[in-house]
Each structure stands twice: as structure tokens, then as C-alpha cells.
Chain A
Amino acid sequence: MEKSGSIDSLGSKRSSSRQPSVDSLSSTSTSRSDRSAQAKPPSAMSSDSVATSAELSPELRVKPKTLAKQVPRDSDKEEPQLLPNETVQDMAQDVTYFCPFIGAMRGTVTVTNYRLFFKCMDREPAFVLDLPLGVVSRVEKIGSASSRGDVSYGLVCKDMRNLRFAHKQMDDTLRKSIFEVLMKFAFPVSNGLQIFAFEYGQVFPENGWKVYDAVSEYKRQGIPNESWRITKVNDHYEVCDTYPSTLAVPVNIPDEELKRVSAFRAKGRIPVLSWIHPESQATVTRCSQPMVGVNGKRSKEDEKYLQAIMDANAQSHKLFIFDARPSVNAAANKMKGGGYESEDAYQNAELVFLDIHNIHVMRESLRKLKDVVYPNIEDSHWLSNLESTHWLEHIKLILAGALRIADKVESGKTSVVVHCSDGWDRTGQLTSLSMLMLDGYYRTIRGFEVLLEKEWLSFGHRFQLRIGHGDKNHTDADRSPVFIQFIDCVWQLTRQFPAAFEFNEYFLVTILDHLYSCLFGTFLCNSEQQRLKEEIPKRTVSLWSYINSQLEEFTNPLYVNYSNHVLFPVVSLRHLELWVGYYIRWNPRMRPQEPVHQRYKELLAKRAELQKRVDELQREVTNRSASSSSERAGSPTRSITPVQTFV
């Protein structure tokens, strides 16, 4: 992970000068804070940059085939390397950047239709800040009337940092400040512009839009089978406009009845299959809340439908309904026509509340977390401050809920129905996490991509609203870090089961970085229907194209593929940790001490070496035993179990 060119160069310089200089500090922090930038796809200009920086050859240790890590290395250039169709919109000299860790520094700011690029040439090596505009949540002008006539701007970012800049008051009052320009391009949606993903025209060897196909994913799970069928009833998004077109439902419920069930479920989100246990046939199904209302309305069709879900699993005569909400909130939803299944109406069903709070509570919690970790950390009260954000507690509740679901399905062989209010936030967290625990396929890189495509994107997690791509309305109450929470939970799982996931931490960080960056089309829009309407797959590049084109960057060398292995994490707060590598990554003091990633790769090589050795020995044995037909004819050639090596 520490492989930016600038660090490399640092390493070599270090040996000559031992005295730490502030310059070196800045550069380290840059390379750290710019990690998202390093992961940028290759640009058309890359060949130029190689040419200009040829004399700095020791730094150019990037393998040519690697697509990532195109840090602008040429120290004489003040502009960033541009992506295809990225254009410079404005440039300003003598802008001061107030780095909370290093201090103020002066440099040049470039704003393109994709990024903000700050470069300070006074330092050696130069300090670079490269920020996709998509991460900007808010731009605020701070007290214009300072003594020297400086104007100061604060950028509040979605990825746990705030940036502050200042520049001289414009002499020419007609000329706009560069930050006014920035505002225009940071919020293209609000300004009638196009999100950059639609312009970005990079071509990758892999096509990420082909990663997920609903029918083949259901087929992988063994659907259709005798109890479940695939329906096209929602082909034109008429039954439910936030659902995908392909749904899996119980065999004995005809499409007509599905439509009647949809009337009883909020937003028409009927219970549909997410995952089926390959052996016990216990299922995870998801839906939205039933429209019970204050009067306790019932729906024969819905009751019959849930009965059908239960009957589809012969192993159990019970059905668990997991309502993600706290029971108080669920009850309060009755006032708005919603509610929860009464156990009178649903025989054999048991309703469990999982006490997970709503999007507003989560947003507030993350805000508090940001206050605690950025920019400064109070060492003496770190743990109690962390506790007061309740962030880890929320993580724990989500994981605990998913664990209960997985346990019911795996150990109890019972089918479960999961819902919250609308079934697109907490429900998605719970189903996808429990599927991750239950099914090893989703722990591979491709499988995880499929999981996101399926449970999050196709089932209508409202990414556009929750993230607010290109929208300047930063106070929008619909924004919430639901997806970040999910990725955090996944990270917690990877910590507890370091060998169970094919992807590494960098993979998760990359996903979150491009959740905001608006470089790829993957996380745009709110539903499959909208994505189709906007022709996202045609007009944008998928994040998976980028990731799948360089899998080695994202592969966990410790991965061991054991299929049918169920993960039951420990969900006590005692065993959860704050994801320092994401939330506190801007703080240069938090840089990991060691390139552990590198070490993993070595171990991987060791493993391959071993494998090779086994093969050799095996060959040798067969040769020899063939030649010398001596004693011991019976004992040997035990069939060698093939061992996968993941190189």
C-alpha cells in the first residue's frame, strides 16, 4: 500500500540526510493523503510524465503494466496529469493551504472539471493535494475581512476531512475567486452541469458492467428450483420502481398475487429472495415494512405470501421476521401507515426487533466521529471520546443483527424475512452482511462486487440521495453514511477473519473513495430503473472495470478459499475496533509503521514456492518409485490434495 513514488524517493533520500525536515514530513503526508489520487486510472498523459521525469529514474519504480499510481512526479509541473476529457477550468497562484498537520503553505491551485489540485513548490519534494471534487460536501467562505485582505475558504469533505485555503482579495472585483469556480464544478447537478463520470472516457481491459447478471447469480444459488422461481413481473418496474427487474419469488405465488402483495408493502417492495442455503433451503428474503397503519390492517395475500416463503423451506415450520428498527420506531411508523407484522396475523412467524437506528442517528454519529478524529486527537480521552460518538455501538448492532440472521439460517435452518421501513438502508446492510457470513462466494473480489451490485445497487439503495453526488444541498436530511457503515462492518469481519476474504483493506478504501469521487458510474443514481434511464452502463465506466483490471492490488495474500465456511464474528464491542486506516488516514501520525502489505506479498510468494516444491517432490517420488520397485509398495502414493495458491 505504501508504494507511491514519492515515498520511495523519500526512502532513498533518507539515508543521506538523517535530520528530519519539515519537507519530508509534508511529502510523506502528501503521499498518504493522496492515496486516493494515486489510485487514479491511467491518463493519456502518462507517457509525457515519464519522459519529463526520466532523470528521476529511481522513483519510477512503477511497473509499467500497473495502471494505478500515476502520481504526478514531475516536480516542475504545477498542473495535475489530466484524465481523459478532464479540462482545466481555472488556476490561481499564491494560494495558501492551511494543513492542520504541517502548517500553512503557499502554492498553486488548479481546478478542473474533476478535481482540485494544489501544489506547493517551496518544499522538497513538492507538496501535492489532489482531491476529486466529488468529495466536497460544502464550500464556505470564512470571514473575508482579515487584516491582509485575504479571503479564506473552507472545504468540508465527505471523507472525514476539512481543508482550508486562503488567497488575496481579488483586485479585479469582476474576476471570480477560484473557489467560486470550484463550487460550480463541485456541484454540477445543482449547476446544470454533467457529473464527470459521464465525460470520463477511459477504456479498461475489463468491463465491470458485466460483473453482475441477476439471472446467473440466481442460477449460481440454484434458482429456479422446485420452490422458487424467477419472475419478470417487474420487468418494466411497474410493481416496484425501486426494485430490480428480475426477482426470485416462491413458486406457488402467481404474478397477479405479487401485485396485490405489493400494495401492502411500503413502496411496493415485496418480500423477495436474497439468498438461499444450498443445503437446508432456508432463505434470506428482504422487503419493506407492511402497511399496517394505526388500524392494524391485514392483507390475506401478504400473509399467504409469507407462509409460502416458510413452506419453501421444509426444514423448519417457523419463519423469523427481523425488523431492523428499534420497536419504538417501528410502532411510531404506524402513524404514517407503516408498522410491523403482528404475530396474530402471521402464524408461525416470530418477529424480532434489531434496534438499529435510522439514517439520521447514523449521520449524527459519524459527524461526532469526525470531530473526534479530525484534525486532532485528544490522547488522554481518546477512548471515552470515541465511545461518546456511539459509532462502534452502531456497528456492533448491525453486525449483531446480521449475525442473528446468519445464525438462524445456518444453525436454525429457518428462513428469515428482513425489513426496516423502506427496505433499502438497514435491510441492505443486514442481508448483505449475513450473506457475506453465510456464503464464501461473496468473500471473493468478484463475489463482493456481485453482492454490492445485487443487494445495494439493484435493490435500490438510494446512493444519489444518501451521498448527494454533485448536489450542493449539504444539509439534505436524506444524506447518511449507511453504505460506509456497511463497508466498516465488512472491515470488522476482515479483521476477525483475516484469511476469509479475497480482498484487502485497500479494496474497501478504494470503494469508499470512489463512492464519492464521481469518476465511475457505479454509485450514481438511486435505483436500477434510474440507471437504465440514464444509460449509466453505456455512458460511464464501472468501478469494477478499474478494479478488475488490476486485481493484484486488491488481493489479500492470506486468503484461503474454503467454500461452505460460515463466519460467525464476535460482535462484542471488546472485539471491534475503529477503522483507523479509513477514518484517521489523513493524519500523517497514523501512518502504519510497516508496509505489511508488502510482507504479505512475500509470504504469498513463499507459498507459491512451497507449492512448486511439492510438485517437484511429487514428480521426483513418482519417478523414483517407478524406477525402484522396492519395498513399501503399499504405503504410498496418497493422493495429494490439491491446494489452491492464489497468486
Chain B
Amino acid sequence: MLTGSKTTFKVRQMLPDIKERMLSQSGVNARSRDVFGLRCLPGECVLQRAVMVRKKLTAREGRGWLSGTLFCTHFRVAFVPQDSPRPDDNADPVLLGDHDVALASIEKVVVVGPNRTKLVTPNSSLKFTPEELVLYCRDLRVICFLFDRLTPDAQVLEITYTIAKTYQPPKPGSVLSFQNAALGSVEMKQFLSNRRRNAHMNWYESVSDWEQELERCGAMGWRVSSVNDRFEMSTSLSRFIVVPHKVLDTELKKSFAHFNEGRIPRWCWRHPRGSDLLRMASFQNNIYHEKDDIRNLEMILFGCQSSLCVVVELAEELPSPADIQLAHSRLRALCLGDISTSVSVPDDKWLSTLESTHWLDYTRSCLKKASEVACLLRGGHLTVALQEADDRDMSCVVSSLVQVMCDPHCRTQHGFQSLVQKEWVMAGHRFYSRVNYHRDNDKEEAPVFLLFLDCVWQLLSQYPSRFQLTDDFLLALHDSIHLPLFSSFLANCQRERCKRSQNLGQSYTPVNGWRDMLHPDSSSDPSDPPLPPVWDWDLQYSKHRRDRFTQPVPPVPPLQPLLNGNLNTNPDTHRLTDTLPGSVFLLSRGTFSCPANLLPWRSTSSGPYKKSHRRAASSENVPGLERLLKAWALTEFPQALTSTSGPQGPLDPYEPLLPLLMGPCMGLWRECYLRGALHAQAFSHPISANHPHPVERLAQEVQQLKDKLAQVSTGTDRSPSTKTAEPRRTDANLNQNTNNGTFLFPAARPQSKAAPRMTPPPTSTTTNHQTSRGPPPASAPPSRPVRRDNGGSSSSGNKHTFLFGHSSVTEARTYPAPNNAKLPKSNGPSLAS
């Protein structure tokens, strides 16, 4: 979302030395920009340029080649296709164009000569003129540029040297200078500080954010506590935590000491059937548990259920961060091949080598664990507490996977962003250490988050029509983590993030608020630019790429924005609630047990709870619980439970998406891991990229006709702009559903933009569009009443707006509430199943 007061940036070339000055004089002035068309960020300077370069397109981009001009700046290697549309100088800056790569993402630069391949380092000198330039990126992309014979040799050599010198091998200083190159200019800082945060997602930064989530989940009996407001209780926890109503802050304070890093059990999510999901670190065994403390502890642990708590120990069956790191580095090596020698695993050993990376095993085990938890929660009215030694890695994976499986809201783009914000960013996943941006802490490095994304992709590929987000979105997230620019990832916990932004003054004004310019930009240290959150996608990606983050036709029937926390349709529940309150079980390796030392204070016979009726956990519960799990074991079999089995059958949106976990069902995310593999493009054919898909063509025509209509009559100028967003997305969706890496007619067709008829609608609509384009209905912020939503979109719509199912859903919502129940029926058959 953009600010209303638009700051415009004229592209300005900074000319720090003579060479650059010469370059700019020789052509990077007004006229040449028309020719080469690189739109620089404020303060970005072009260091070197090479003309007549061809970029190898990946399968997703349509394969083949694209010719254009290659640039190297302080911040990125940019490629501008020959006949790309003229950049709009008034548009907001976008960090990376569709063909660009940030210098910080580059891992290795390799040049291919007539008969040799050479790794280029800042110090190396070339004895031959490269024909090909290959950039190996940290995010597993491999970008290949081919120099034409007509490219001047000097340009080829110069740009190669320049890239080799400026791409920074990661070390603390280089990350900072990279950040400065990208965001350090005065204009950029000002621009960033004026940006509004995405109001459609939950940031979990304030009490009201958390309350909103409690309300969305219908979680009664919980409250938001600000006991950790100053991070005094736990440095790694977020400022606000959710705890049972009945536990007072004073009682709560005593609990922190009993848990590793003070990470006490706290609420994450409530299943619509009334079970709560909690997370906690392991118990501190070396302190004395006082009687009162223990009462508080148990109150926290049992949350609001007071009957049954299952502790799921995550360490046992899940890979450790070190395992993940090893698997991922093997996978990398396998997918990219040995970069310096260009040797890769022979095809006939591919499968077994892939197996031996264990990456797929690990995704499977995470999904399996999450499925178990999801099935437990489905049982209703119990507390499931995920326990991990430090509660900062696998519990992030499992808790968020569970929510993706069970909560349709988390399968929308904004819902997913909120989820990551809640379970990863705010919960204190150590992004900074795990990604190891500075390469100074290899021991801690582990792509836990990437493993999670892979798991989500597995779910997406098995249930393509149950997600509103697409794998383009997952890919974008995957790539962003390798870019050291985002506040979301450049800290290990909220406290670190706050510290940083305190130093800088607040950037990114709170939701709907405007930053009062008390601190002019001079107040912040110029060497420390304000970092945007990763969710500010407008900053990173062009509009047509962002459009592909979501499916245009929401696949599931309209989601009820408010889950009913007391939905109780489960026959098992009664049996479970009948039992004595306060039983605690341990779920481990698929079976339940009640080990004496599960809760350390209960284990010692001299413990204060010796006489407690709770001491002996009632084993009558075990059969009930095991039935829940067994139900899952069976569903893994024929998915009899998943309501999807009947194509026309009613969809229960709360049924978890349980993945198939058999060997042949675990897929390799080829679009991610193999997109760079050069051999994959050996036999590509240039013509395939140029044909728009018929849906897209149709959409364009609709657009043009609409424009024409608007001209002829005095139509509202809103409808055309709304439309521009939608047609594109239908196309993305078509490709999406094929769920396949190689598309014959991919959506990415930069050339199509070149066609004169594609010129964007008059600028007046551009701004208009920002306001009129409502959020996709499925991801409407839950707190918002439904009414408001449709009010917004219907105001923008004459009939023409409701061309796509996407909009028609919105329209359907204007029905009076009683009809709500019927909605799935009217929309369902066409959209769901």
C-alpha cells in the first residue's frame, strides 16, 4: 500500500569518480535511459553496463533467451530487456526488477570462455573474453547471461570485473554497506519512513493485535499480558504474550524462572473445536519448585481446558538444526552441482543422491509431527503444548504447520504472513543467526525456515485448491530471506529489533498512523538505514509478480472470518472431558505415556503435590487419545476423513489438510531447487516465451474494451483499474494449478508488456487503483466486519467488476447474514472441491 503523498524520485546518477562520470556522460543521461531503461533507486549509481546481452530464461519464465542490457550497480546486477516499457519515473521505487539480482544474493561468479570455465574473484584477472557470465545465488537461482559477439569486449571484461569486485562476500561490514547501497540514500530513507504498514495482516506488535487474534480464534479465557513489556522476564519472547485469564501477572512473573530462557507456556492458536495450542521451552530442573509456583505453572499449562494436556516433545523425532543444515547444504550441492568444476551428480545417481541428502525425510517428519498435533487438536477441548529445549526452532515449524493445516485463514497470503509474524518473527526464531548473514557463525547456521517453506509447499502441492497463496509467494519468501535487508529477518527476537529501531527512530509508522516527523532523517545514523519488513512486497517486486502471489479465484468457499471457538461437533469430546481434570500425557513416537518425570515437580515423591489427586494421571484417557491418533494413522491411508474425498461433498473448512507421507508423495520443490540447473535448459526454444495465454489475452481484451467503454460513455474510472489486477491473476492461477515446474505458456512474459497496447491506463487511475483494490475476500482482516468489506468493493463496482470468481465471492457476501449458511452451496460447487 502506498502513501498518499507520493514522493517522486528523479533518477539521479551519483558520480563518485571519473570513470563513472564518463560512463554517465557517454549515455546514462536522459536519452539513454530511454534506450536502456534502467530505473535506478534513489542514490543508486550504475557502475558498469554491457549492451547486447542475452539472459537465459528459466522454465518458469518461458525458457529461451531475452536480449537486453546488463547493468551493475552498487546494489544489484540488473538486466533490462530490450523492449521493456519505459520506466515510469513517478512510480515508487522497486528494489529489484524482474530480471535483477541483488549483489548480496550472489554467491559465486563464474565465467565461461570458449573452452573453459573460471570462477571469478575480486582479484582474478581473465585471460580470455567470457562468452557467458553465470551468477550462482544463495537462494539457489543460477542466472546466466550470454554475451553477444557484438558486445564490445571491453564492456564484457569490465562488467565481469565490476561484478566480481562489488558482489560482497559476506562479512559484517559488507552487509551494512549493501544495506546502505540499497536503502541508505536520503530519499530512500524518507520514502521508507513514510511507508504505511500493510494493514491487512496482523503484526502482533501491540496488545490489540493479539486481542484481535484471540477474537478471530474465538479463544475465550485467555488474555494478553504485557508482563514482558520491557523484556525483563524473557529476553527472547515477544513483548506481549497470551496467558490464561485466571493467572495474574504477579503469579505469572514467578513462572519464568522455571523455563529455559524464561519461555513459559503461552498460547498460540485455538482450534475451532476448542483445543488450544501452546508453546514452551523445556523446564528448568535445577531450581526448586515452590508450591505456589507450581500451581501457577499448572494453571498456565492447562490453560482454559482444565482437563487434559498433551505435551508434545519435539526434539525426538525431528531433525536438529545441525541436521537441517547438513541436509540443506547437501541438497544445494546436489542441485547446483559443483560450481567451480561444473561437475554435477550423474543422472543415474540422482535419485539415490537426493535420498541421501535426507532433506525429504526431514520434511516428512515435520509434516508427520504436525499432522499428529493437528489430529489431537481436532479432538477438541484439550491443551497441546509443544515443548522444545529452547522453543525457537522446531516448535516454530510445527506450530505454524499445524495452523496451515487446520486454519484456512493461514492459507491466504495475509494470513500466512501474520502466521509467520506470530510464530517466527515475534516468537523469536533466531533468523539472524540461523541465516548467518555475516557468515560469522557457521555453527548456528540452519535453514529451519526454509525447511518450513518446503513443508508448506508439500501441502500446497497436495492440496493446490485449498490455498489462496501460491508457490510464487513461497518462492518470493524463500528468496527474500537471503537478502539482508529486512527487519523481519535481521534480528533474533523482538528485543533486538526494538533496540535497533529505537536507535533509528521509528520507521514504518504504525498501522493507519502517520509518522510525525519529530526526528528528521538526520537524527538517525546515516550508516544505518531503516530496514523495511519483508512483508512490504511492493518494495521488492513489481506489480505483476505480486499479482501472482495469490490465486485469483479463491478456491475454497468463502471463509468465515471469525472461527467459532466453541464449535463442538466431535463425539469424542465427551469421553475426553469426562475424565478427571488435570491429566498430562506425553506424546512421543506416536504413543502416549505418562512418565513420572514429565512435569519435574510431580516426579519427586517428596514434591509438594504428593497428595494431589492429579498425581496419577488417569490412564483412561489414553484410549481416547490413541483413537485420535489412530484415526490419523488411518487417514494417512485413504484420507477417508478429509472431506475432500467427495468432490461434491460439503467441505468442512476445519478438517486439517493431512498430507500423504509415503515416499512417492514427497515431492522435490523443483521450481525452487532446480530452477537454476543449467542442464535443464539445454534444449530450450526461444519462441515459446512470446505467446500470451488465451486467458491473459482475453483479459487484456476485456481491459481494452472496458477502457474504450469508459471513453465512450462516462463510466467510472475506477472499474478499469480494478480490472487490471484481476485478469493477470487468473492466468497465474491457471499455471498454478498445473502444479508443475515447466509451463508451455508461462505467465511471465515481459515482452508482452512491450506491446504498445499494453501501456498502462492513464496515470490518474494508478493512484485510484491503490484505494479501490480491496483485499482478497478470503484474507480480509478478521476484525473487520464483513459488511465493511463488501461496502468497499461494491462501491468500486459497477457490474463489470464482478467478472471473476474472485469478485463474485465478494459480491455474494452482500447477501444478508442468514444466507451465509447457504453460501457454500451457491458458490461451493463452482469454487470448491
Question: Which residues of A pack against B, CB within 8 Å?
Answer: 2-3, 7-12, 14-15, 18-21, 24-25, 28-29, 61, 101, 373, 377-384, 386-387, 390, 392-393, 396, 403, 407, 495-500, 558, 560, 562, 565-575, 578, 580, 584, 587-596, 598-600, 602-603, 605-607, 609-611, 613-614, 617-618, 620-621, 624-625, 628, 630-632, 635-636, 638, 640-641, 643-645
Alpha-carbon gap, A573 to B649, bound state (A):
39
Q: B225 to chain A: closest CB distance in Å?
A: 36
Within 8 A of A (CB), among B455-496: 462-466
Q: Known contacts A20-B631, A28-B638: does B745 contact A560 (CB below 8 Å)?
A: yes
Name the contact of A380 in the complex, choosing from B361, B553, B639 (C-beta under 8 A).
B361
Residue total for B at the interface (Cβ-Cβ under 8 A): 99
Alpha-carbon gap, A373 to B665, bound state (A):
12
A496 adjacent to B742 (CB under 8 Å): yes
Q: Known contacts A382-B355, A568-B685, A590-B665: does B712 contact A606 (CB below 8 Å)?
A: no
- 1/0 contact trace for B30-65 toward A, CB 8 Å? 000000000000000000000000000001000000
Chain B residues within an 8 Å CB radius of A571: 683
A61 adjacent to B638 (CB under 8 Å): no
Which of B657, B705, B741, B803 has its CB near the most chain A CB atoms (within 10 A)?
B705
Question: Which residues of B pack against A, CB within 8 Å?
Answer: 59, 347-352, 354-356, 360-361, 364, 462-466, 553, 555, 569-571, 627, 631, 634-650, 652, 657, 659-665, 670, 674, 677, 679-685, 687-688, 691, 693-695, 697-699, 701-702, 704-706, 708-709, 711-713, 730, 733-734, 737-745, 757, 803-805, 830-831, 833
Name 6 extra pairs, CB < 8 A, besides A377-B662, A384-B355: A11-B647, A379-B661, A573-B350, A635-B708, A643-B694, A643-B697
Name the contact of A574 in the complex, choosing from B674, B688, B757 (C-beta under 8 A).
B674
B649 adjacent to A617 (CB under 8 Å): no
B352 adjacent to A387 (CB under 8 Å): yes
B664 adjacent to A584 (CB under 8 Å): yes
Chain B residues within an 8 Å CB radius of A14: 640-641, 643, 645-646, 649
Q: Known contacts A24-B640, A560-B694: does B738 contact A378 (CB below 8 Å)?
A: no
Q: B143 to chain A: closest CB distance in Å?
A: 18
Q: B626 to chain A: closest CB distance in Å?
A: 13
Q: Known contacts A25-B638, A596-B465, A598-B647: does B804 contact A499 (CB below 8 Å)?
A: no
Alpha-carbon gap, A605 to B734, bound state (A):
12
Q: A208 to chain B: closest CB distance in Å?
A: 28
Residue contacts A-B, CB under 8 angstroms, 19 given: A7-B647, A9-B646, A10-B646, A10-B649, A11-B643, A386-B351, A387-B348, A495-B742, A499-B693, A570-B742, A573-B350, A573-B351, A588-B638, A590-B662, A603-B734, A617-B705, A618-B701, A625-B708, A631-B711
Nearest CB in chain B to that of A601: its residue: B830
Chain A residues within an 8 Å CB radius of B705: 614, 617-618, 620-621
Chain B residues within an 8 Å CB radius of A568: 683-685
Alpha-carbon gap, A1 to B351, bound state (A):
30
Chain B residues within an 8 Å CB radius of A572: 347, 350, 677, 679-680
B637 adjacent to A588 (CB under 8 Å): yes
Alpha-carbon gap, A386 to B668, bound state (A):
15
Chain A residues within an 8 Å CB radius of B805: 606
Alpha-carbon gap, A393 to B349, bound state (A):
10
B352 adjacent to A384 (CB under 8 Å): yes
Q: Known contacts A3-B647, A572-B347, A610-B699: does B742 contact A589 (CB below 8 Å)?
A: no
Alpha-carbon gap, A108 to B464, bound state (A):
40
A589 adjacent to B645 (CB under 8 Å): no
A625 adjacent to B712 (CB under 8 Å): yes
Q: Known contacts A10-B640, A14-B649, A20-B631: does B712 contact A575 (CB below 8 Å)?
A: no
B737 adjacent to A603 (CB under 8 Å): yes
B463 adjacent to A11 (CB under 8 Å): no
B352 adjacent to A495 (CB under 8 Å): no
B638 adjacent to A24 (CB under 8 Å): yes
Name the contact of B741 in the complex, choosing from A407, A575, A640, A641 (C-beta under 8 A).
A575
B757 adjacent to A638 (CB under 8 Å): yes
Alpha-carbon gap, A546 to B328, bound state (A):
50
B745 adjacent to A499 (CB under 8 Å): yes
Chain B residues within an 8 Å CB radius of A603: 553, 733-734, 737
Q: Known contacts A7-B646, A384-B352, A643-B697: does B662 contact A574 (CB below 8 Å)?
A: no
A578 adjacent to B683 (CB under 8 Å): no
Name the contact of A25 in the complex, choosing from B640, B706, B711 (C-beta under 8 A).
B640
Alpha-carbon gap, A542 to B444, bound state (A):
65
Q: A7 to chain B: closest CB distance in Å?
A: 6
A28 adjacent to B640 (CB under 8 Å): yes
A610 adjacent to B803 (CB under 8 Å): yes
A-B pairs with lowest CB-CB distance, top 5 = A11-B646, A11-B649, A382-B663, A498-B738, A383-B355
Name the contact of B646 in the complex, choosing from A12, A390, A403, A638 (C-beta under 8 A).
A12
Alpha-carbon gap, A440 to B804, bound state (A):
30
Chain B residues within an 8 Å CB radius of A602: 553, 830-831
Nearest CB in chain A to that of B711: its residue: A632
Q: Known contacts A387-B349, A572-B679, A603-B734: does B694 contact A644 (CB below 8 Å)?
A: yes
Alpha-carbon gap, A621 to B705, bound state (A):
7
Chain A residues within an 8 Å CB radius of B687: 565
Chain B residues within an 8 Å CB radius of A593: 462-463, 639, 642, 644, 657, 659-660
Q: A396 to chain B: closest CB distance in Å?
A: 7
Nearest CB in chain A to that of B737: its residue: A599
Name the contact of B643 in the complex, choosing from A15, A587, A641 (C-beta under 8 A).
A15
Chain A residues within an 8 Å CB radius of B636: 589
Which of B627, B738, B830 has its CB near the most chain A CB atoms (within 10 A)?
B738
B730 adjacent to A606 (CB under 8 Å): yes
Alpha-carbon gap, A456 to B757, bound state (A):
47
B652 adjacent to A15 (CB under 8 Å): yes
Alpha-carbon gap, A3 to B642, bound state (A):
16
Chain A residues within an 8 Å CB radius of B677: 572, 574
Chain A residues within an 8 Å CB radius of B639: 28, 591, 593
Chain A residues within an 8 Å CB radius of B555: 599
Alpha-carbon gap, A378 to B663, bound state (A):
7
Alpha-carbon gap, A625 to B708, bound state (A):
9
B648 adjacent to A11 (CB under 8 Å): yes
A396 adjacent to B347 (CB under 8 Å): yes
B708 adjacent to A383 (CB under 8 Å): no
Nearest CB in chain B to that of A407: its residue: B683
Name the contact of A643 in the complex, choosing from B657, B688, B698, B738 (C-beta under 8 A).
B698
A393 adjacent to B347 (CB under 8 Å): yes
Chain A residues within an 8 Å CB radius of B665: 580, 590
Alpha-carbon gap, A386 to B833, bound state (A):
32
Name the contact of A598 in the complex, choosing from B627, B660, B833 (C-beta under 8 A).
B833
Chain B residues within an 8 Å CB radius of A578: 664
Q: B653 to chain A: closest CB distance in Å?
A: 13
A383 adjacent to B660 (CB under 8 Å): no
Chain B residues within an 8 Å CB radius of A500: 744
Nearest CB in chain A to that of B695: its residue: A607
Chain A residues within an 8 Å CB radius of B674: 574-575
Chain A residues within an 8 Å CB radius of B830: 602, 605
Chain B residues within an 8 Å CB radius of A618: 701, 705
Nearest CB in chain B to that of A406: its residue: B683
Nearest CB in chain B to that of A392: its residue: B351
Nearest CB in chain A to that of B688: its residue: A565
Q: B798 to chain A: closest CB distance in Å?
A: 13
Nearest CB in chain A to that of B570: its residue: A18
Chain A residues within an 8 Å CB radius of B349: 387
A383 adjacent to B351 (CB under 8 Å): yes
Alpha-carbon gap, A566 to B347, bound state (A):
25
Chain A residues within an 8 Å CB radius of B681: 570
Chain B residues within an 8 Å CB radius of A644: 694
Chain B residues within an 8 Å CB radius of A569: 683, 742
Name the contact of A613 in the complex, choosing from B634, B712, B803 (C-beta under 8 A).
B803
A575 adjacent to B680 (CB under 8 Å): yes
Q: Known contacts A18-B571, A497-B744, A621-B708: does B663 contact A379 (CB below 8 Å)?
A: yes
Name the contact of B682 in the complex, choosing from A570, A613, A640 (C-beta under 8 A).
A570
